[in-house]
Structure 1
Amino acid sequence: MGGCSQLLVLLLVSSLPPLSRADVSCRGTDGRDGEAGSPGRGGWPGVKGEKGEPAMTAAGPRTPGDLLRLKGETGSRGPQGSAGPKGFQGNLGAFGHRGPPGPPGLGAQSSSSGQASQQEARSAFSAVRTENSYPPYNQVVTFQRTEVNKPADFNAATGYFTCRVPGIYYFTFHSWAKVSLCLRIASEALDQKPGFCDYNANSDQVLSGGVVLQLAAGQRVWLESFRDQQTDKDARDVRDKQIIFNGFLLFSGPV
């Protein structure tokens, strides 16, 4: 049995073809280029480069002032844009520090003619007549009291206002009675006296009138009653009546 196995191996070995030597001079064909791969991801930003050299000209390197002079001409101004929306109101700020006191004002001065200075250029009065008797025709209306009289340019007992400060004044009156009444404002500065009347039977009579006057120093203004369509019975009336006469300086100035 063992002799048979060895004989079989010898037969197989003897049946193999003889080994041949490879030819080293043989060469294969070149392969093709491979396909391009997909783009890679972006890399990190590079570091900042160094500052370059100044610009060079025929005369040498340029300075920053030279570069500014190379700036182009200013273009024409463009059209104005539309206004934007109004912003919100800001919060109120804190109070500031109190400022120093101002210099003292000039003292009051009077001119050689004795007229009042601008600091004294003020005048106002309000007089009230409470007398129940009918004011006599074509006579100055007098008054029982004054509510305001600064600085005493009006005389209630005589009914005259005497101008102390030249300027423009406003005078007005209001009356209330149970009988027809006519009143007018009179002055030496008027060529004609503006008159006012009210006729309304069987009810209270309310009458008002006013005038603006330019007065010189010393000129007077007063209120007086006059007759128009009143009856003798009206002139004898002794029921309650009230007349208020007002006047004040609007602004001073030479006439």
Structure 2
Amino acid sequence: MAQPEVLFLIITAIFASTYLIAYTAASNDYDESSQTSGSCSQEETATRCKPIESPCGCFMGPSGPAGATGAPGTVGPSGLPGVQGPQGLTGSIGPKGDPGLEGQVGLKGSTGESGTAGQNGVNGEKGEAGQDGANGARGLKGTKGLKGDSGEKGDEGDVGPGGHKGDSGTKGDKGDTGKGTKGDAGTPYVPPPLSMFTATLTSSLHVSSGYQTVAFNSVKMNAGNDYSATSGFFTCRIPGMYSFSVTVLSHPQYDLNIYLMRNEVQEARAYYNYMSDKSGYSTIGHSIVLDLEEGDEIYIRAHPTTYLYASGTGSNVFTGHLLYAAADMSVENEATEI
């Protein structure tokens, strides 16, 4: 429908509504006036109906025949906008539409806040050991695993080197005087067994033929009296570990060849050949540690053609001493095994 026609219908409806409202109000006034006065004068009856001016109103005659259709009137001016009507009822939900096209990927959202850490789970029970499988191929080097459980305490290690001396601490408060209980009586002190000697040769000794025992005749020290200056023998009285040493001076024109003997067994030898060195006197020596039994004899034996040159009391010396008694060694071994 065209817009002018719509406006015409709106204006027509407004005028019709206004007329109907005025007519209804005049009829009501007439009814009230008739009830009050009972009748109207002929002058009022003959006069055109003026609903608003006359309280009596007017009597309308019967409708006349319909007149001929008049010519269309001119389009009237646009009427005022009508009052907005009440909101209509909510319509029913329409059918589901076709799926829309897939949208583009949206922008990356901002990082959310970190969630709270979850509680540690309960350790599961230890499973049974599986059977040994065949050796597989050597795998690649794996990443560093988690720290394992602490192993069993190892054996006590050696004592490390001493650390640097620390700074002196502050002096503490004086403590209460303590009173300890009397301890048990200790075992009586038993001094360790002693067996040691030092002897020198005061005169030169030239062995021209056969083997000869060298008697170091000047005894400097003989704890335990186990060395004999007369025979030159040391006789073991206390079984254990001993240390022996001998130092002798050679003549520039003679060989020097001596042996340290245990019973009839050679344990050590010191040798000098004068042909290899004609520069003068030479001092040679030897030392050894032996495990002796009670009754073993230790002495120095000289080889034929040996010349021991005595130049003062300290040129030729024979010495020996006990390191550990056999009883002490057995106690120490038991402590080591424990």
Whose helix proportion is higher, 1 or 2? 2
TM-score using structure 1 length: 0.50
- Larger Rg computed on CA atoms: 2
TM-score using structure 2 length: 0.39
Whose strand proportion is higher, 1 or 2? 1
